[in-house]
Amino acid sequence: MLRPQPLLSFEVDTSGQDTSLKHDDFDSEVRRTWYHYLPLCLLLFLMVAPYPSLLIVLVNHYLLTLNEPIAFIVHFLITFTLEFLAFASLMVCVVRDPGPVYMDASDHDPVHQPEDMGLAEALMTMENTDDDCSPDKFCRKCWVPKPERAHHCSVCGRCVLKMDHHCPWLGAKCIGHRTYPAFVHFLTCITAFSAYVATISISAVWWSFDNPLLVPDESTPVHELLLATAGVIFTLVVGSFLVYHVYLITTNQTTVEALSPFLLLRYIPPLPVSMKLSEPPMEEELSYNQRRVVRDAHRFVRMYDVGWRRNWAQVFGWSKPRGWLYLLLIGGSVNGDGRSFPHNPRSQDMLSQLAARLEKEA
């Protein structure tokens, strides 16, 4: 089916050059400069900074003091593996596009695009448009089709499929449909690495205080104490973030959806014309009591919650043989196209009740 054509054309033929607007002109990211990568450089520094102290602790404590080479090899391999997996998923988050929003290839085929179209033909074509090109599913900032759960990032200047949040620590990029599994994998590896380093460091510090005369180097307890402190701090900070995302995956929400209760207004049934609200209603058009009703309903209405097993399968499921290995290494990729998602079968009834309560509070 043909897409709607613009009623007016602003193309100017200058010296035979094609000056028509391309789709890439609308769906292009904001050009990044060097200071956008400073948080990423700091993150890389924090990831490699513990290793000098960690090697000192492992060598002095497990090799020179306890004379346990097997424990030294085991601890070294575990910490190195966790750090390697964290770097792998971090690379995916930085390099991979989080989820481009673009039209199908057929939409750009010049064979199907008439060069000249009259006003009447244009109006008739607009009546037969697909759902993806309806006015309420077009981004009014970058003017591209806006599929379900896609959002516009004002920092990146583009729309992202199933956008979760914008992360300045990952090169000022968004976490979206294609990078969310790698992002959760990165949080898991960093939390596991920090917790493991904190555990072996606390054990070494405890032993050093019980046996102060057997410590081969006076600086070793200092490294052990610093590693233990940093490990506990990063475990609590990053681990809390990881627990929050585990909750989001279990309930099939994104950070944007969890923190924006008024997104429910996009899905409620049409309200009576007498309420004089937009279609769909806007947050600023609601009264205080109506806003409170929407916030209360947001805690119970989960549009995409189809059970925790299927919710996790949407993010970390695999369809290829031995796909779990790829999932273990870098976090894998999300199933589906990022444009359509199964809905909670109870969501429509809940939305109807929400619409009735909004009408009652009018």
In the numeric block, which tokens belong to residue 353? 């009740």
In this predicted structure, what is the pLDDT of residue 29? Answer: 58
* C-alpha to C-alpha distance for 291 and 279, rounded to whole angstroms: 16
> What does the pLDDT read at residue 30?
65
Non-local CB neighbours of 334 within 8 Å, separated by 6+ positions: 162, 177, 178, 180, 181, 314, 315
Q: Is the pLDDT of residue 3 over 50?
A: no
pLDDT surpasses 80 at 318: no
Q: What is the mean pLDDT of the chain?
A: 82
Question: CB-hemisphere CA count at 13 Å for 322?
Answer: 2
Higher pLDDT, 345 or 362: 345
Residue 6, pLDDT > 60, answer no
Half-sphere exposure of 241 (CA within 13 A, CB side): 17
The pLDDT score that the predictor gives to residue 57 is 93
- Note the pLDDT tens digit of each residue in 117-143: 343 443 333 333 344 444 457 787 877
Give tens-digit pLDDT for 261-289.
Answer: 999 988 888 888 888 888 888 888 888 99
pLDDT at site 13: 46
| Position with higher pLDDT, 280 vs 322 | 280
Residue 111 has pLDDT above 70, yes or no: no
Among 226-240, 283-297, 302-316, which range has the highest average pLDDT? 226-240
Maximum Cα interatomic distance, the chain, rounded to a whole number of Å: 94
What's the pLDDT at 305? 94
pLDDT of 334 strictly over 80 = no
Percent of the chain whose pLDDT exceeds 70: 82
Instruction: Output 9 or 298, whichever has higher pLDDT.
Output: 298
- Degrees, nearest 5: CA angle 104-108-109: 110
The answer to whether residue 341 scores a pLDDT higher than 50 is yes
Model pLDDT, residue 82: 96
Q: Which of 172, 175, 149, 230 minimizes the C-alpha distance to 197? A: 230
Assess whether pLDDT exceeds 90 at residue 166: yes
Judge contact between 194 and 235, C-beta under 8 A.
yes
CA distances from 341 to 22, 50, 144, 311, 337 (A): 29, 42, 19, 10, 9
User: 343-354 pLDDT, tens per residue?
Assistant: 999 999 999 999
| Helix, strand, coil % over all residues of the chain, rounded to 5 | 60, 5, 35
pLDDT at 342: 92
**Could you give the CA distance from residue 54 to residue 141 in angstroms, rounded to a whole number?**
49
pLDDT of residue 19 exceeding 70, the answer is no
Note the pLDDT tens digit of each residue in 229-267: 999 999 999 999 999 999 999 999 999 999 999 999 888
Query: 206: pLDDT confidence band, cut at 50, 70 and 90?
Result: very high
